[in-house]
Amino acid sequence: MSLKTDRRLIPTSAHWGTYFAEVENGKLVAVRDYEKDPAPAIIGPGIVDAIDDEVRVRRPMIRKGWLENGPASRDGRGSDPYVAVPWDEALDMAGAELKRIAATHGNEAIFGGSYGWSSSGRFHHAQSQVHRFLNCMGGYVRHEGTYSYAAGQAITPHVVGHFKELLDGHTTWPVIAETSELVVMFGGVPVKNGQVTSGGVGRHTVFEGLKTAYEMGVEFVNVSPIRNDVIEIVEPEWIAPRPNTDAAIMLALAHTLYTEGLHDEGFLDKYCVGFDKFLPYLLGKTDGQPKTPEWAEGISEVPAETLRSLARRMAGGRTMIMVAWSLQRADHGEQPYWLAILLAAMLGQIGLPGGGFGLGYGSENGIGNPVEMFKWPALPQGRNPVDKFIPVARISDMLLNPGGSFEFDGGTHTYPDIKAVYWAGGNPFHHHQDLNRLVKAIRRPDTVFVNEIWWTALARHADFVFPTTTALERNDLSMTHWEQTIVAMQKAIEPVGDSRHDYDVFTGLAERLGVAEAFTEGRDEEAWLRHLWDQARQRAAEADFELPDLETFREIGAMEVLQPKEPVVLLRKFREDPQANPLTTPSGKIELFSEAIAGFGYADTPGHPAWVEPYEWLGSPLTETYPLHLISNQPKTRLHSQLDSGAVSRGSKIQDREPMSMNPADAAARGIENGDVVRLYNDRGACLAGVIISDAVRPGVVQLSTGAWYDPEEPGVVGSLCKHGNPNVLTRDIGTSRIGQGPSAQSVLIEIEKYEGTPPPVTSFVPPKILEKE
């Protein structure tokens, strides 16, 4: 045996950073930060032990009930053991089942929305892979929108333009530092969230952006139920409203601006339509209620004087209004977005450096990150001949109500009758609301197919589980238009167990369905990477910059491109010449009254932005039973549910439970102490969590991040206690409104009690029972 250690450093990329994987004798031992990254994420090292831990899926698996009784065994989802089946047999059976369902029910019976973040790397992007495969076999029912900002995506096209195009054009941090005087942040600018960009981060710039702005004299106001949504070193003023009351606060700010003559009439006339139709509502002429600061104080519990003086301060200089994405993941979350744009319009600084509005600074590193726009190539997904879709968060509704109708952005549509569900690169048992309802819904289809790396709760509810590789087990290209860093990702270790790339799983299925040629176009991994990189080089040449050949790129590993040529200011061109550069709204201007929305005739959403009382909030009668508002924000130690089994995330747990923060007064009233295990509950479900007592959380509010793996005490039983702390057993599964139908996870009331006795052990990181095939 050789005593020589084979030690290598291999470039790779994750949504949370660029890394060099340190590999010793074929085993991942560490991840080294990218030397050009000024503020590496804390998430990264979580992969080191997670990559080959006990809860990896190592072989293809079929649920025992399905193997014996096929679809008739559907009620065993969530509780049945699994049988390990050789690849060829498992692919034969899965291929035959997909063929049967498509032949009997048509491709409209296949749901392939497959929402989820997957991994960094454009070729092995799991969602693109599954969509391409399903298109090759005749199409699938898709989803529209995102869990991140579905309500935002629905409202901004009516008001100011397409959401993603707005995000691409956000004013950059250096411009803010130089020109803003005041930044008002609704929902903060959490640096912990800026750890990620979908598709991969190179240099983390949010911390630097905030710090530089502070040093250059910018003042910050954080309007949020949680103080540490903004780093302390920028000395933010903290205004702590009841959650979900931002619309009332913004209306009060607008009321003060108008009644004190601080609004910019010239801007409203030249660049906007409909302020005159909004005004009667603001002044209370339509409903008898002027939207005064006193009125807003009754709703938000923010003193009227604080609001009045904030409005005056905002009008007194160059002010940037920032709104986190979380605000629209709430009941009628469209409204605070519309109102933030309205406020910015009243201030008249839209299109000026350092003024206007921003949607999602800090929500991802990419927002406001200086980078020249460029369209990188991606795996082509093909054409989907099926035109049925659902708004992304209507998954349980669809499965539970085949043929039922739903409204969405002015249209009426029907839910398809789904027989097959295929998921690769996402986890609805992480991301969806009201998991007990999802446990029921996932039992409706005939067959559930999942490609997964780990035994997540989704894998445990599937009939076919195909074990997939991580990004460290394959070659790829990381390139996203929100970052300057591009990475030639290279295979660091051999695939763990018998896992395969999603591409190879789908190639195997495509062979069985007779569409392999269409799916692969005759290319393997290496040929696809060369093809995509050739395209990138061609486009770069057209855009007047140079990319090296693939061999050289692989030697370099990670490189910086696309330094911005000039400072980016959101909507600058529109401001300079609104006739030559109209918006994509119906009027070409900013719509403060939308004829289109008024035309929908939705009683709860008039043609102008408004305060619409949420169904659950600290002002509702339900507080008599459930007096606490739950904020389930993004976790600091991982990305969603990814790497929850790794050391970084597990190191944050309290008695193995997900940490949960609450105000000292609320804890004392319930006899709860730091480090206790508590039970959080409402009519929809219950979970355990470990307590952190903190005055950074406003009274009446509880914070429990998303992402603890769902861990029912009685697997497969609807309503079972989640032993681990997944907030989605408590959230409500209802669309933000008929406009956006987005997830409304932030509108939830609960109660908390101390858990007496020894809590049951967390078992989500132990695989299900696995049987060998006879």
Ligand X SMILES: Nc1nc2c(c(=O)[nH]1)N[C@H]1C(S)=C(S)[C@@H](COP(=O)(O)OP(=O)(O)OC[C@H]3O[C@@H](n4cnc5c(=O)[nH]c(N)nc54)[C@H](O)[C@@H]3O)O[C@H]1N2
Interface with ligand X by CB under 6 A: which residues?
Answer: 116-119, 124, 126, 147-148, 186-188, 190, 192-193, 195-196, 223-226, 229, 243-244, 246, 324-327, 329-330, 363-364, 424-427, 430-431, 451-454, 456, 468, 502, 631-636, 639-642, 706, 727-728, 731, 745-746
- In whole angstroms, the minimum distance from the beta carbon of 325 to Mo ion comes to 7
**Nearer Cβ to Mo ion (210/745):** 745
Q: Are 701 and 106 in contact (CB under 8 A)?
A: no
Which 457-486 residues touch Mo ion, going by CB under 5 A? none
What is the 3-state secondary structure of 104-139?
A: HHCHHHEECCCCCCCCCCCCCCHHHHHHHHHHHCCC
Q: Please give the size of the binding site for Mo ion, defined by CB under 5 A.
A: 1
| 195: partner contacted, choices Mo ion, ligand X, none (Cβ within 5-8 A by kind) | ligand X
- In whole angstroms, the minimum distance from the beta carbon of 86 to Mo ion comes to 37
- In whole angstroms, the minimum distance from the beta carbon of 276 to ligand X comes to 29
Alpha-carbon gap, residue 527 to 325, rounded angstroms: 38
- In whole angstroms, the minimum distance from the beta carbon of 149 to Mo ion comes to 7
- In whole angstroms, the minimum distance from the beta carbon of 346 to Mo ion comes to 30
Residue 104's CB: how many other CB atoms inside 10 A? Answer: 10
**Nearer Cβ to Mo ion (214/429):** 429
Alpha-carbon gap, residue 208 to 233, rounded angstroms: 11
Q: Are 531 and 541 in contact (CB under 8 A)?
A: no
Q: Smallest Cα–Cα separation from 388: which of 145, 150, 142, 139?
A: 142
What is the 3-state secondary structure of 450-514?
A: EEECECCCCHHHCCEEEEECCHHHCCEEECCCCCCEEEEECCCCCCCCCCECHHHHHHHHHHHCC
**Nearer Cβ to Mo ion (148/682):** 148
Q: What is the crossing angle of helices 275-282 and 246-259, to 10°?
A: 100
Question: How many C-alpha atoms does 248 have within 13 Å on its Cβ side?
Answer: 23
- In whole angstroms, the minimum distance from the beta carbon of 198 to Mo ion comes to 8
**Nearer Cβ to ligand X (102/250):** 250
Catalytic (active site) residue 626: no
Close Cβ partners of 170 (under 8 Å, ≥ 6 residues apart): 358, 359, 360, 361, 367, 368, 568, 570
Residue 646's CB: how many other CB atoms inside 10 A? Answer: 22
Close Cβ partners of 576 (under 8 Å, ≥ 6 residues apart): 351
Close Cβ partners of 564 (under 8 Å, ≥ 6 residues apart): 172, 370, 371, 372
**Nearer Cβ to ligand X (324/448):** 324
Catalytic (active site) residue 115: yes
Phi and psi at 11, nearest 5°, equal: -70, 135
Alpha-carbon gap, residue 533 to 713, rounded angstroms: 48
Residue type at 89 in one-letter notation: E
- In whole angstroms, the minimum distance from the beta carbon of 498 to ligand X comes to 14
Residue window 138-157: x/- pattern of binding to Mo ion, with contact defined by CB under 5 A: ----------x---------
The β-bridge relationship of strands 628-631 and 749-754 is antiparallel
- In whole angstroms, the minimum distance from the beta carbon of 484 to Mo ion comes to 22
- Catalytically annotated residue among 34, 115, 337, 755: 115
**Nearer Cβ to ligand X (224/256):** 224
Q: Are 289 and 295 in contact (CB under 8 A)?
A: yes
- In whole angstroms, the minimum distance from the beta carbon of 578 to ligand X comes to 30
Look at residue 770 and give its three-state secondary structure. Answer: strand
**Nearer Cβ to Mo ion (148/245):** 148
**Nearer Cβ to ligand X (62/223):** 223
Distance between first and last Cα of the chain: 38
| 192: partner contacted, choices Mo ion, ligand X, none (Cβ within 5-8 A by kind) | ligand X
What is the 3-state secondary structure of 142-180?
A: EEECCCCCHHHHHHHHHHCCCHHHHHHCCCCHHHHHHHC
Burial 192-226 (b: 16+ CB within 10 A, else e): bbbbbbbbbbbbbbbbbbbbbbbeeebbbbbbbbb
Alpha-carbon gap, residue 548 to 554, rounded angstroms: 9
**Nearer Cβ to ligand X (225/354):** 225
**Nearer Cβ to Mo ion (117/765):** 117
- Nearest residue to Mo ion, by Cβ distance, number only: 148
Residues in the chain: 774
- Catalytically annotated residue among 117, 422, 503, 533: 117
- In whole angstroms, the minimum distance from the beta carbon of 735 to Mo ion comes to 17
Close Cβ partners of 669 (under 8 Å, ≥ 6 residues apart): none
Q: Smallest Cα–Cα separation from 254: which of 295, 220, 219, 298?
A: 295
Residue type at 255 in one-letter notation: H
Residue type at 108 in one-letter notation: E
**Nearer Cβ to ligand X (179/468):** 468
The β-bridge relationship of strands 411-414 and 405-408 is antiparallel
Burial 602-638 (b: 16+ CB within 10 A, else e): eeebbbbbbbeebbbbbbeeebeebebbbbbbbbbbb
| 225: partner contacted, choices Mo ion, ligand X, none (Cβ within 5-8 A by kind) | ligand X
| 426: partner contacted, choices ligand X, Mo ion, none (Cβ within 5-8 A by kind) | ligand X
Take residue 402 and report the two structure tokens written for it.
């085949």
- In whole angstroms, the minimum distance from the beta carbon of 167 to Mo ion comes to 12
| 363: partner contacted, choices ligand X, Mo ion, none (Cβ within 5-8 A by kind) | ligand X
| 711: partner contacted, choices Mo ion, ligand X, none (Cβ within 5-8 A by kind) | none
Q: Are 203 and 164 in contact (CB under 8 A)?
A: no
Residue window 99-138: x/- pattern of binding to Mo ion, with contact defined by CB under 5 A: ----------------------------------------
- In whole angstroms, the minimum distance from the beta carbon of 124 to ligand X comes to 6
**Nearer Cβ to ligand X (418/453):** 453
Q: Smallest Cα–Cα separation from 57: which of 448, 494, 492, 498?
A: 498
Catalytic residue set? 115, 117
Kindly list the residues in this chain that would bind Mo ion in the complex (CB under 5 A): 148
